[in-house]
Amino acid sequence: MLTLIGVPAATPKESAMGGMLMDAPIKEFALAGSLEELKAKGRLLVHGSHRPILVIYDRGRVVALDNRCPHMGFPLERGSVEDGILTCHWHHARFDLESGCTFDLWADDVPICPVELRNGDVWVKTTVGHADPAAHWHQRLADGLAHDIGLVIAKAVHGQLAADVPPAAIVRQVALFGAQNRDGWGVGLTILTALANLLPALWEEEAYLALFHGARRVAADRDGQAPRRERVPLGSRRESAALKRWLQHWTKVRHREAAERTLLTAIAAGLSPGVLADALLAAETERAFADAGHSLDFINKAFECLDLIGWEYAPTLLPTVVGQMVAARGAEESTPWRHPVDLVALCDKATRELPELFATSNGAHDWSDHAALARELLGDDPARIVDALKAAIRAGAAPADLGRSLAYAAAFRVARFGNANEHADWETTHHVFTYANAVHQMLTRVGTAKLDSYVMGVRGVLHGAMALYLARYLNVPPARIPGEGGEQLDDLPADAAMIRAALLDAFDRQRQVDLAARLVARHLALGHSPHAVIATLAFALLREDAGFHAYQMLEAGVRQFTVWGNTDAGRHILIAVARYLAAHSPTERAALQTADIAQRLMRGGELHHEAAAS
């Protein structure tokens, strides 16, 4: 008996989908050929409206499926069928012929099409769809993340966007997967959050690429890791001050379980994000510049991730940062922070003075000497640097003001990174900048509502200032800021589009650090849109198999530029970003190839024909 995709055709008027033929519009189906012709040839090809469809006769069954292998688009008509298994001739991906499901997870499932038998002819529905596309691609993304399959992740992200799923919902799905399937926050979740923060600055078509990169890095970060174990809040409901003290204590003595339960108790008590930020910042700064700044940056990114996906997920997401926080190594354990000047002692002394400094400040709300303070922070005398911070507090600078100045000073250090340094030294300046940005964002979140709710967090500014001081040698000799000191940029294009094209071309070649900086400076000096050059820098990064630090650098730079605007300081920050990205480009761009393959497959392309044509 003939079977149409697994359904016996005992009643010829009934379709394989269970409906009557009269209910199926003829225009949705295409004639593949007669049943006798199909039996004789074994397979027929139908050119559907969006994709070629392969019709196969095998052991009394008729099956129709997308002719393009879901892995790389090779025509399945050239494959072999044996024992109900279709094998692609190219990479030998194998599929269950009846359902289209793959035996090789890296290949993805091949879509099948409904088939009907009408008076001895085989008709095939030429469109492939899903009853609920959003739900289908949500599940496929879950599968791709679980098995760390880049092509499946890329298709699922593209499919969700095509189904009008909001990017924030995709970020939420990936973030919760990462939080629940890895025992602690990692670089993948940081990259995901950084790219999600950048979505408003991207060209619309680049959102797919950004979400794909974020999702694939979360999957890779989780692969082979132990899943997270759930912990519960304490049974009591203590006041926030006690919980803050406990969190600091447990962090200091490296008691992870106690610290996590304390934090969960604070969340369950309904403490605001600002109060939670204050508690975590105070605990984190029990150690100076912990883990080269990464620990605090991870904490800040967890807060930003919750801003994106919703604070109702705080019990799931926020405790993931505790493991690294309690285990982190502080800079006080390293020689440069102790000799020849004991920078830790200098910071501790200044910290003890902070309550009185803030209490006796003039309380002005219009303090605006951010750039001047940044220049002081770039000095070569640590005692004078601390004195400059104290003077700013007395003059009315709020904690967030101090963080803003520190972040700009750290970006300026990157902008003037000397090319004579070793390449690995870029990371020293990068660490200080991203740490300073995290300090600024956390202090901004905390606010200045209560004296004792932010004083301990200001230690982060002191630590960041000392880390900046220790990196001073990387500006000897300093790189020049393009367009300053009488330098002319007239040898570069003047048209905005041509400048951006030249910038992308510079990222295609190694050792174009200075050229990239000059092009960004030229673009901004001529009054062209800063947002356009930011989008170009983002696209340049999204093309690459970029390292973790590059994503951090771009996102922190864009965030700080948003604070400073198109001022000299803002331009210096974007120049710093351009120099760093150029120093780490180009790469193999393998992920871009995967994303492109997925996009073309999802749009109905036949990749092997395109490759032959080129």
For 115-162, how does the pLDDT look when each residue is reduced to its tens digit (9 = 90+)? 999 999 999 998 877 779 999 999 999 999 999 999 999 999 999 999
DSSP annotation of 199 reads: G
How large is the average pLDDT for residues 492-517?
97
pLDDT of residue 238: 87
d(CA 443, CA 438): 8
Q: How many residues does the chain have?
A: 614
3-class secondary structure per residue, 50-117: CCEEEEEEECCEEEEEECECCCCCCEHHHCEEECCEEECCCCCCEEECCCCCECCHHHCCCCEECEEE
State residue 122 phi and psi, 5-degree precision.
-105, 120
Give the phi and the psi of residue 425 in degrees, each rounded to 5: -70, -15
- DSSP code of 240? H
Of 23-37, 77-91, 363-377, 423-437, the poorest mean pLDDT is in 23-37
In Å, how far are 23, 235, 310, 398 from 273, measured between CA atoms? 56, 21, 11, 19
Per cent of the chain over pLDDT 90 is: 82
Predicted confidence (pLDDT) at residue 613 exceeds the cutoff of 80: no
Q: Mean pLDDT over all residues of the chain?
A: 91
Written as one letter, the residue type at 113 is C
Average pLDDT (373-392) is 98
DSSP, residue by residue, 127-160: ----SSHHHHHHHHHHHHHHHT-HHHHHHHHHHH
| Pick from 21-35, 221-235, 301-315: least confident | 21-35
- DSSP string covering 345-379: HHHHHHHHHHHHHHHHS---S----HHHHHHHHTS
Cα four-point dihedral sign 220, 225, 229, 233: negative
Strands 52-58 and 43-47: antiparallel
Mean pLDDT, to the nearest integer, of 182-188? 96
pTM summary value: 0.91
Chain segment 302-360, per-residue pLDDT in tens: 999 999 999 999 999 999 999 999 999 999 999 999 999 999 999 999 999 999 998 88
Crossing angle, helix 459-470 and helix 426-446, to 10 degrees?
Answer: 170
d(CA 506, CA 515): 7
C-alpha neighbours within 13 Å on the C-beta side of residue 236 = 6
Return the pLDDT at 26.
Answer: 53
| Tens digits of residue pLDDT in 529-573 | 999 999 999 999 999 999 999 999 999 999 999 999 999 999 999
Per-residue model confidence as pLDDT tens digits over 63-73: 999 999 988 88
Q: Write down the pLDDT at residue 365.
A: 67
